[in-house]
Structure 1
Amino acid sequence: MTLFVHSTFLPADDPEASLAFYRDVLGFEVRGDVGQGSMRWITIGSPEQPDVSIVLHPPAVDPGLTDDERRTIVELMAKGSYASLILATHDLAGTFEKLAAAGAEVTQEPTDQPWGLRDAAVRDPAGNHLRINQL
């Protein structure tokens, strides 16, 4: 059996801010945009990986969630500990400079990790934790 990653979901409480970040700063392409207002599901992805997508979705809209669970999700998003994504680039320094110049919240400047990886970390407009690995 062969399986592939096709898509993953990240919460986005401000679709326009998230779209501007992923499209305009990171250079991802928009593959779909359904819904309206704050209830939008926006599918994006790297032009270099046409078979892998990220769906930016409204957080905590599952009708099975309680009000307490919704509040917990919002609190975790605010801390940057609800969702995360690991990206990779051939130019970590250039990517990091671009993100910092665009106002991304930096949580770690480019660093050589003890396990042999060089990476950096930022948060997207929804608070999602993004790590960027040097290829």
Structure 2
Amino acid sequence: MTLNALTRSSIYVLDQDEALDFYVGKLGLEVNTDVDLGFMRWLTVNVPGDKGREILLEKPGAPALDPATAEQVRELLSKGAMGGWLCITTDDAHKTYETLVAKGVEITDEPTEKPYGIDFGIRDPFGNKIRIGQMRES
């Protein structure tokens, strides 16, 4: 058996339209898929040009969660106690930081030199943590 790619990740969001505004409007990601499946909206975004890796912006609910569990997840997410985690790279951490500050994105950590490069932290409107990094050349 050989695994050869990680193609999708999922994070919970409380409002998919608000998530689109944040991930596409503020971060500059692009919509990959936006389909009403009847039982759920399958909404994915990706880094521009990278169709091989999608982030599912998933509302807590069916089919993955029963109603009681979905309510618990929404409550935890609202408290900031259950956010997911994403890591995105950039060619210029300082410029990206300045652009996101100007767009009103919540910054959790300012750009800092690390052994692997420069990175900083932001949070989406639902409590999901995102690290944005400019990685050093190997």
Deviation, 1:52, is: 0.9
Q: What percentage of aligned pairs have identical amino acids?
A: 31
> How many residues were matched structurally?
132
1:42-121 correspondence runs (5 A): 42-62=43-63, 64-65=65-66, 67=68, 70-72=71-73, 74-76=75-77, 78-79=79-80, 81-113=82-114, 115-121=115-121
Deviation, 1:78, is: 2.9
Deviation string 1:26-58 (CA, Å, 9 cap, x unpaired) is 22111211239xx53311111231211111110
SS class of match (1:41): strand
CA distance in 1, matches of 2:86, 2:49: 17
Give the aligned partner of residue 34 of structure 1. 35
What RMSD, in angstroms, separates the aligned Cα atoms of the two structures?
2.4
CA distance in 1, matches of 2:3, 2:63: 30
Q: Is residue 108–residue 120 contact of structure 1 (8 Å, CA) maintained in 2? A: yes
With normalisation by structure 2, the TM-score equals: 0.80
Give the aligned partner of residue 9 of structure 1. 10
With normalisation by structure 1, the TM-score equals: 0.82
Give ranges in structure 2 of 5+ residues lacking alignment. Answer: none
Deviation, 1:9, is: 0.7
CA distance in 1, matches of 2:92, 2:81: 24
SS class of match (2:79): helix
